[in-house]
Amino acid sequence: MKKILIFLAVAVMACSCGNAAKTVDSSSDKTDAKSSVRVQENDAVKYTDIYAYLRGRVPGLIVDVDSHEIRIRGVVISQFGDEFPLILVDGVEFSDLSGINPLDVDHVDVIKDGTAGIYGSKASAGVVHIHLKK
């Protein structure tokens, strides 16, 4: 009886893992844990700051242009107390992006969920990584 239960448990786990992988790979309208926005020069000319440019361009990224606050997927309060994402510009931590011209930006990566864990506990609410043109 014990061997049968173990076999069934392993079979259920194997089936569910296989189905989950198949579902993730086959869906075309999924929201990834990482989004990337390449800055188009003809669009960036219309904006005076990076906050206004990013607003509405990345799924799950909420940008308040007036208060210069960025949130990923709404109000996030993690167990570490961070409610704002870690903001990096070429790998250096920044708190205010108002001095960055959208024309100087090459692309922006927004990392959500557990994928941001590689940046440590400061990134518990996600990461906004801005890459400038060289």
Which tens digits make up the pLDDT trace of 37-59?
787 777 777 888 888 888 888 88
Q: How far apart are CA 51 and CA 46, in angstroms?
A: 12
Q: For the full predicted model, state whether its pTM sits above 0.75.
A: no
CA angle 34, 39, 43 (to 5 degrees): 135
Q: How far apart are CA 124 and CA 84, in angstroms?
A: 9
- The domain made up of 33-132 is a member of CATH 2.170.130.10: yes
Dump pLDDT digits (tens) for 11-25: 444 444 433 333 333
CA dihedral angle for residue 66, residue 72, residue 75, residue 80, rounded to 10 degrees: -120
Domain ranges of the chain: 33-132
